């Protein structure tokens, strides 16, 4: 069996033997792909595997599907299926690649859906191979040398840049006009009944260069306010100091909610304060007011959706938006120079009363 992390390694190893690989691919090419249909009726989108990218993509797909004559389906990583069903009415096909058998089972589900055209949003080689194994006759995605043999429509890799919003790249792949993220109208879901009006804090982030640590001080400086802290198991350590001496008004839920639970809590929040993360993107997608703090990553690339979003960055750090996993200067100046007062003021300005 091949684990998730091993798929790319496996494919790269196979590509080291081009003759054998070319023969395998040619056998697949001759047997797997259906003829191109006379008329396209059913389309599907292979969604990203990371939560931030997934939510941004969902906004673009939703806009495209609303204005389209096609029947849309979403091919969704299994861990996002429940969340996706809460956020979107579009049909979902679960995608699982934990091992080779589940990878092929997922491809078979897509094949059974008789999809005419497949849009690939991930960049990986394995996603292109998966799309090819579905037998869908038209596959459109970002061009890359090793992927192109599996794509019938190649989108120039020039659209892949971190100097413009990620939704612009997804718009190019999905063949739809780009709209500024601030124009996203938001989506309504039923909020969680127990946390209505709370300020939701999301102190976690995938990398330390995106993790502002001023939440503990922020809670102390904002009296007479209830807070709920959200995050996954990896965020428990970062959240532990926040409000630990104020349990009467700070509820720490990190590691205790599903993604769809978190979405319900965010939906009822008065405002969300978050580092650059998937939960930040969920807040923007739902139209909940959100203050987003950026350090090592750039808001030009991943600022939250909607008009009720405010972005906080350092005013004088020369090395911000470095996109590095570790701080080259070892001082995290782009984050440390952001004060709690810099965050509280815009949060109070946009919060639901």
Superfamily of domain 199-350: Glycogen Phosphorylase B; (3.40.50.2000)
Q: Over range 202-210, report the average pLDDT.
A: 85
Which H helix or E strand runs over 291? strand 290-293
Mean pLDDT of the chain: 88
77 phi/psi in degrees, rounded to 5 = -50, 140
Residue-wise DSSP of 182-220: GG------PPPTTSTTPEEEE---SSGGG----HHHHHH
Contact criterion met (CB below 8 Å) for 42 and 91:
no
Confidence (pLDDT) at 30: 47
Q: Over range 159-164, report the average pLDDT.
A: 93
Query: How many CB atoms are closer than 10 A to CB 1?
Result: 9
Is residue 2 scored above 50 in pLDDT? Answer: no
Show me where the domains of the chain are located.
6-179, 199-350
Structure tokens at 259: 């993604």
Confidence (pLDDT) at 18: 45
Give the least confident one: 9-13, 138-142, 146-150, 187-191.
Answer: 9-13
In three-state secondary structure terms, 145 is coil
Structure tokens at 53: 């990218």
- Give percent above pLDDT 70 in the chain: 85
273/275 Cα distance (integer angstroms): 7
Max intra-chain CA distance, the chain = 69
pTM for the whole thing?
Answer: 0.90
State pLDDT tens for residues 59-70. 999 999 999 999
Q: How far is CA 22 from the centre of its chain?
A: 34
Contact criterion met (CB below 8 Å) for 290 and 271:
yes
Q: Where are the alpha helices (DSSP H) in the chain?
A: 6-15, 18-31, 51-66, 81-87, 100-112, 125-133, 166-173, 215-221, 236-239, 259-267, 278-286, 299-302, 333-336, 340-350
Fold of the CATH domain 6-179 = Rossmann fold (3.40.50)
**CA distances in angstroms from 1 to 100, 131, 195, listed in the order given:** 6, 20, 43
Gyration radius of the chain's alpha carbons: 22
Angle value at C-alpha 272, between 268 and 274, nearest 5 degrees: 145
Is residue 253 scored above 60 in pLDDT? Answer: yes
Question: 113 CB contacts (<8 Å, ≥6 apart)?
Answer: 42, 44, 73, 93
Confidence (pLDDT) at 211: 85
Query: How many CB atoms are closer than 10 A to CB 105?
Result: 14
165 against 319, higher pLDDT: 165
Confidence (pLDDT) at 317: 64
Of 257, 342, 339, 266, nearest in space to 308 by CA: 266
DSSP assigned state of 181: G
State pLDDT tens for residues 4-47. 445 555 555 544 544 444 444 544 554 556 677 768 999 999 99
Q: Over range 331-351, report the average pLDDT.
A: 88
State pLDDT tens for residues 74-112. 999 999 999 999 999 999 999 998 888 999 999 999 999
Q: Over range 112-121, report the average pLDDT.
A: 96
Of 48, 52, 47, nearest in space to 202 by CA: 52
In three-state secondary structure terms, 160 is coil
Confidence (pLDDT) at 102: 92
Q: Over range 243-248, report the average pLDDT.
A: 90
Question: 145 CB contacts (<8 Å, ≥6 apart)?
Answer: none
Q: How many residues does the chain have?
A: 353
Query: How many CB atoms are closer than 10 A to CB 326?
Result: 12
Confidence (pLDDT) at 181: 97
């Amino acid at each position: 069996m091949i684990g998730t992390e091993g798929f790319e390694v496996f494919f790269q190893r196979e590509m080291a033997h081009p003759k054998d690989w070319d023969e395998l691919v040619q056998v697949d090419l001759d047997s797997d792909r259906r003829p191109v249909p006379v008329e396209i009726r059913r389309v599907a989108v292979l969604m990203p595997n990371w939560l931030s990218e997934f939510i941004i993509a969902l906004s673009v797909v939703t806009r495209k599907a609303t204005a389209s004559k096609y029947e849309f389906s979403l091919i969704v990583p299994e861990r996002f299926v429940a969340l996706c069903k809460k956020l979107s009415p579009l049909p979902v096909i679960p995608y699982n690649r934990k091992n080779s058998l589940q990878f092929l089972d997922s491809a078979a589900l897509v094949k059974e859906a008789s999809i005419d055209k497949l849009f690939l949003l991930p960049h990986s080689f394995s996603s292109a191979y998966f799309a090819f194994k579905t037998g869908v006759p038209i596959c459109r995605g970002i061009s890359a040398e090793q992927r192109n043999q599996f794509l019938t429509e190649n989108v120039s890799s020039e659209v892949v840049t971190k100097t413009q919003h990620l939704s612009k790249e997804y718009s190019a792949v999905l063949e739809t006009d780009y709209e500024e993220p601030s124009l996203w109208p938001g989506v309504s879901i039923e909020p969680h009944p127990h946390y209505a009006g709370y300020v939701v804090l999301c102190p976690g982030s995938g990398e330390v260069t995106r993790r502002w640590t001023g939440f503990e001080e922020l809670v102390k400086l904002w009296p007479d306010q209830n807070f709920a802290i959200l995050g996954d198991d990896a965020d428990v350590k970062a959240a532990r100091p926040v409000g630990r001496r104020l349990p009467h008004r700070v509820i720490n839920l990190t590691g205790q909610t599903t993604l769809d639970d978190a979405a319900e809590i965010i939906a009822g929040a008065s405002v969300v304060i978050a580092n650059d993360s998937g939960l930040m993107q969920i807040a923007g997608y739902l139209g909940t007011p959100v203050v987003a703090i950026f350090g090592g990553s750039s808001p030009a690339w991943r600022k939250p959706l909607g008009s009720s979003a405010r972005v906080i960055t350092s005013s004088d750090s020369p090395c911000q938006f470095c996109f590095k996993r570790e701080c080259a200067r070892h001082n995290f100046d782009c984050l440390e120079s952001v004060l709690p007062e810099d965050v509280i003021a815009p949060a109070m300005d946009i919060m639901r009363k």
